[in-house]
Amino acid sequence: MNRIQTLLVVLFCSLGQIIGQTKGTRPNVIIILADDLGYGDVGFNRGGDYPADRGIIPTPNIDKLANSGIICSNAHVAHPFCGPSRAALLTGVMPHRIGAQYNLPNDITSPLGIPTDETFFSKILQDEKYNTAAFGKWHLGFTEGSYQPLDRGFDYFFGFLGGGKNYFESEYEDSFYRRQGTSNPVINEYQDPLQRDRAYVSKEEFEQDEYLTDILTDDAISYVTKNKDKSDPFMMYLAYNAPHTPLQAPADEIAQFKIDNPNFEDLIRNSPYITESTPVNKESDATKKEELIEKFVQARITYATMVTNLDKNVGRLVAELKKDMNVYNNTAIVFLSDNGGYTYSKGAVNYPLYALKGSVYEGGHRVPMFVHWPNKIKSSGSYKYQISSLDLYPTLVDLAGGSIPEGKILDGKSFMDKLISNEELRPNEPLIIMRPQNGFHNASLFSNPWKIVKTGGNGKWKLFDIENDPGETNDQSNSEPNADEIIQGLINKGIEVTKQFKDVKPGWFDHERGDGHPHRALWFATEELPQYDKLFGTEELSTSLSVKKKLKNNKLKVYPNPSAGLYHIDFDADYDKLKVDVISMTGQWIDTIELNKETPLLNMTKLSKGSYILKFDTGKEASVEQIVKL
Ligand code: CA
């Protein structure tokens, strides 16, 4: 061969390595999902410009992995809250498509969960002979046989089915067992005992003061030990609830954190970030101001300890992998958070991003993320292009050599090869974040460098250059010469996608009623949501559901006597007859009862125990209320 031929062969060989180099390679996979972890609270995301007075949380073990892998500095989740974000990660679709745009109710007796006709990626990997395991927080349904991890493609589960948990056994299990068999059993998911596969774990298995993040990691390490030498690879979904609330950390570790980081406390206590924060500024009383500052300081210290504990545990897991370097090198680790950090009272810092968990601004949905895989990622670096948790599904299926079920919609893209070759994954294809609020959606759509944001229902779209202004400080909707065109371009893409699910009703609601989030009421009594048409300004997206009467919740009072099943109704409206529809929590009509203004006593004695929605209608005005029949 002459020199040119040799060069061509070399060139084609290296191209061959780049194109399709990871499909079907079947590495072990570990997804480490942190919960509400702040963008600025991992070392690998902190540049030299990070303001030290916000508190530097050391994360040496996580950083070591990140810095020898590829840091995804522009990674996003599909929704700024836990449940919908996890639903999207495991199903590969935007949560709105499957009615999963709210957190599930935090009730362990709830019959709800992610629709069973959605195939989780774990099921495909399981079918491809992967050993599959889920650890930690599930938050995707309680019902055995339908919604639990073992029903969704995991061979093994150790964790808790709800959306959160107390971190010490003494804080949850005691009250659960103490109240079992009484008239007031524990149904709150935070106090549900830990579960292995389908059964509660005996509390004898660990000490009362053992810390949950440690317990989860112990079990994950033991899983690696048992599975690393098997002929088939393993896929581990390790969903820590740290550093999500409740802010709880071992007292000795908090003390040690203060010793190891002697300036941390003073720096944050005197930081304008805290002392001049909006919540502190809003408080006029000087004593209460001080109390609030102290609350934020203590929250940040406990949160920081939870993060250092998480880091320690990631280090322990990696040490177990490293006992056999072949296993370590052949394991793809994906680390990310399920949504942005919850700042101030919950301790997180999202610097340099604006806003927090729940927001459609970057602080709500841009998350810390990296991919580490020694066998394939030979040179470390940073990936600046947009990547989404939605992309994990097709990526992992590709790695396993599996195929997507026929007819399944996917909102993500297989990323591993593009990540390694540092190519843009979705040019001109925006990611969409939508969060339902009170009868409207907050939303943002972004495709580098532009992002549009609309909040508050009737606001106009703001425009940010997130490539150069990730903190979303400068709204360019009036200054950018092509603003209208850019905004409309993104809106059009949003309409195209939203059209596909505009009539899908939410399967559940986290806030049952109340002044802030009467979502369920809006759906079942007035069908006012989702108002995608108003969001994007087009009739094309109006739902086939009709808008009924406006709610007048402030005019309604229900005085229950739940054990007797009698409810006194005080509806401050002009009426002769008051029609009351009794609706199940899944939106099914059960009964209609008519009341007179003179005897407004609702008899519910015949109904079985449980929660119901009552819709009150005078013919002119309507209101809704949720009741619990004991
Ligand atoms: Ca979360």
Report d(CA 196, CA 468) in Å as an integer: 47
Residue 339 pLDDT grade (very low, low, confident, very high; cuts 50, 70, 90): very high
Distance 313 CA to ligand 1 centre (A): 19
The per-residue pLDDT for 515 is: 34
| Domain interval for residue 570 | 545-629
| Tally of CA atoms within 13 A in the half-sphere of 346 that contains its CB | 17
Whether residues 362 and 469 share a domain: the answer is no
Whether residues 75 and 128 share a domain: the answer is yes
Q: Which of 336, 335, 332 is nearest to 417 (CA)?
A: 332
Distance 421 CA to ligand 1 centre (A): 31
Distance 336 CA to ligand 1 centre (A): 11
Residue 126 pLDDT grade (very low, low, confident, very high; cuts 50, 70, 90): very high
What's the angle, vertex CA 37, arms to CA 268 and CA 414, rounded to 5?
145
pLDDT at 528 over 90: no
Distance 199 CA to ligand 1 centre (A): 25
pLDDT at 562 over 80: no
Q: Is 485 exposed, middle or buried (0-12, 13-18, 19+ CB in 10 A)?
A: exposed
Distance 182 CA to ligand 1 centre (A): 32
The per-residue pLDDT for 168 is: 93
* pLDDT: which is higher, 110 or 413: 413
Kindly give, in sequence order, each residue whose CB lies less than 8 Å from that of residue 423, ignoring residues fewer than 6 positions away. Answer: 385
* pLDDT: which is higher, 25 or 549: 25
Whether residues 388 and 519 share a domain: the answer is no
> Tokens for 114?
């992610």
Least confident range of 160-164, 192-196, 552-556, 565-569: 552-556
Distance 164 CA to ligand 1 centre (A): 9
pTM of the model: 0.87
Distance 338 CA to ligand 1 centre (A): 5
Q: Helix H segments across 52-133? A: 60-67, 82-91, 121-127
Average pLDDT over residues 305-321: 98
Distance 35 CA to ligand 1 centre (A): 4
> Does residue 59 form part of some domain?
yes
* pLDDT: which is higher, 557 or 44: 44
Distance 621 CA to ligand 1 centre (A): 38
Q: Is 537 exposed, middle or buried (0-12, 13-18, 19+ CB in 10 A)?
A: middle
Distance 36 CA to ligand 1 centre (A): 4
> Does residue 10 form part of some domain?
no
Distance 379 CA to ligand 1 centre (A): 31
Distance 310 CA to ligand 1 centre (A): 15
Q: Helix H segments across 450-592? A: 483-498, 519-521, 532-536
Distance 276 CA to ligand 1 centre (A): 26
pLDDT at 43 over 50: yes
Please identify which residue in the block is written with the tokens 């040179």: 379
Other CB atoms within 10 A of residue 36 CB? 26
> Does residue 9 form part of some domain?
no
Whether residues 266 and 353 share a domain: the answer is yes
Residue 178 pLDDT grade (very low, low, confident, very high; cuts 50, 70, 90): confident
Report d(CA 413, CA 393) in Å as an integer: 8
Distance 149 CA to ligand 1 centre (A): 18
Report d(CA 221, CA 232) in Å as an integer: 18
Residue 563 pLDDT grade (very low, low, confident, very high; cuts 50, 70, 90): low
The per-residue pLDDT for 181 is: 87
What's the angle, vertex CA 35, arms to CA 31 and CA 36, rounded to 5?
135
Residue at which a domain ends, from 386, 421, 456: 421
Q: What is the mean pLDDT of the chain?
A: 90
Which backbone phi and psi does 584 adopt, to 5 degrees? -75, 165
Whether residues 308 and 386 share a domain: the answer is yes
Q: Is 204 exposed, middle or buried (0-12, 13-18, 19+ CB in 10 A)?
A: exposed
Whether residues 344 and 485 share a domain: the answer is no
Distance 81 CA to ligand 1 centre (A): 5
Distance 100 CA to ligand 1 centre (A): 15
Distance 33 CA to ligand 1 centre (A): 9
The per-residue pLDDT for 583 is: 81
The per-residue pLDDT for 110 is: 86
**DSSP state, residue 95:** G
Whether residues 316 and 259 share a domain: the answer is yes
What interhelical angle do 60-67 and 286-322 show, nearest 10?
60
The per-residue pLDDT for 621 is: 74
Average pLDDT over residues 385-401: 98
* pLDDT: which is higher, 272 or 109: 272
Q: Is the separation of the CB atoms in 536 and 495 below 8 Å?
A: yes
Average pLDDT over residues 311-316: 98
Distance 339 CA to ligand 1 centre (A): 5
The per-residue pLDDT for 18 is: 47
Distance 330 CA to ligand 1 centre (A): 29
pLDDT at 454 over 90: yes
> Does residue 427 form part of some domain?
no
Distance 434 CA to ligand 1 centre (A): 16
> Tokens for 187?
């149904």
Three-class secondary structure of residue 6 per DSSP: helix
Distance 211 CA to ligand 1 centre (A): 19
Distance 177 CA to ligand 1 centre (A): 27
Distance 146 CA to ligand 1 centre (A): 23
> Does residue 591 form part of some domain?
yes
Distance 137 CA to ligand 1 centre (A): 10
> Does residue 447 form part of some domain?
yes
Residue burial 215-244, b: 16+ Cβ < 10 Å; e: rest: bbbbbbbebbeebbeeeebbbbbbbbbbbb
Distance 32 CA to ligand 1 centre (A): 13
pLDDT at 12 over 60: no
Average pLDDT over residues 91-109: 92
The per-residue pLDDT for 3 is: 62
Distance 341 CA to ligand 1 centre (A): 8
The per-residue pLDDT for 602 is: 86
Inter-CA distances, 36 with 92, 166, 345, 366, Å: 20, 15, 13, 11
Distance 486 CA to ligand 1 centre (A): 31
Report d(CA 206, CA 208) in Å as an integer: 7
Inter-CA distances, 418 with 332, 352, 425, Å: 15, 26, 6
Q: Which of 612, 606, 626, 596 is nearest to 565 (CA)?
A: 606
CA 241, 246, 252, 257 dihedral sign is positive
Report d(CA 131, CA 465) in Å as an integer: 43
> Tokens for 437?
């609020």
> Does residue 25 form part of some domain?
no
pLDDT digits 0-9 by tens, 216-269: 999 999 999 999 999 999 999 999 999 999 999 999 999 999 999 999 999 999
Other CB atoms within 10 A of residue 266 CB? 11
Whether residues 143 and 227 share a domain: the answer is yes
Whether residues 620 and 488 share a domain: the answer is no
Distance 608 CA to ligand 1 centre (A): 34
Distance 193 CA to ligand 1 centre (A): 20
Across 163-177, 256-270, 520-534, the highest mean pLDDT is recorded for 256-270
Kindly give, in sequence order, each residue whose CB lies less than 8 Å from that of residue 271, ignoring residues fewer than 6 positions away. Answer: 51, 53, 54, 55
Distance 366 CA to ligand 1 centre (A): 12
Distance 140 CA to ligand 1 centre (A): 13
The per-residue pLDDT for 106 is: 83
Distance 51 CA to ligand 1 centre (A): 25
Residue burial 577-615, b: 16+ Cβ < 10 Å; e: rest: ebebbbbebeeeeeeeeebeeeebebebeeeeeeebbbb
Report d(CA 369, CA 273) in Å as an integer: 25
Residue at which a domain ends, from 524, 559, 589: 524
Whether residues 512 and 590 share a domain: the answer is no
Kindly give, in sequence order, each residue whose CB lies less than 8 Å from that of residue 330, ignoring residues fewer than 6 positions away. Answer: 27, 28, 233, 374, 375
pLDDT at 509 over 90: no
Residue 516 pLDDT grade (very low, low, confident, very high; cuts 50, 70, 90): very low
pLDDT at 474 over 90: yes
Average pLDDT over residues 361-384: 97
> What pairs with residue 601 in β-bridges?
568
The per-residue pLDDT for 512 is: 46
Distance 230 CA to ligand 1 centre (A): 33
The per-residue pLDDT for 514 is: 35
Whether residues 397 and 288 share a domain: the answer is yes
Whether residues 177 and 297 share a domain: the answer is yes
- Type of residue numbered 603: N
Q: Which of 477, 371, 390, 489 is nearest to 431 (CA)?
A: 390
> Does residue 15 form part of some domain?
no
Distance 237 CA to ligand 1 centre (A): 15
Report d(CA 619, CA 330) in Å as an integer: 67
**DSSP state, residue 127:** H
Q: State the pairing for strand pair 381-383/70-72.
A: parallel
Distance 31 CA to ligand 1 centre (A): 15
Distance 352 CA to ligand 1 centre (A): 19
Q: Which of 136, 82, 93 is nearest to 365 (CA)?
A: 82
Q: 625-629: long-range contacts at Cβ-Cβ below 8 A with a sequence spacing of 24 or more? A: 625/513, 625/553, 625/556, 625/558, 626/512, 626/513, 626/520, 626/521, 627/558, 627/560, 627/562, 627/567, 628/560, 628/562, 629/562, 629/565, 629/604
Distance 15 CA to ligand 1 centre (A): 39
The per-residue pLDDT for 526 is: 54
The CATH number of the domain where 464 resides is what?
A: 3.30.1120.10
Counting the structural domains of the chain, the total is 3
Three-class secondary structure of residue 179 per DSSP: helix
The CATH number of the domain where 58 resides is what?
A: 3.40.720.10
* pLDDT: which is higher, 177 or 356: 356
Distance 354 CA to ligand 1 centre (A): 17
Report d(CA 569, CA 246) in Å as an integer: 37
The CATH number of the domain where 595 resides is what?
A: 2.60.40.3080
Distance 391 CA to ligand 1 centre (A): 18
Average pLDDT over residues 22-45: 98
Distance 21 CA to ligand 1 centre (A): 33
Distance 591 CA to ligand 1 centre (A): 38
The per-residue pLDDT for 587 is: 67
Residue at which a domain ends, from 421, 450, 467: 421
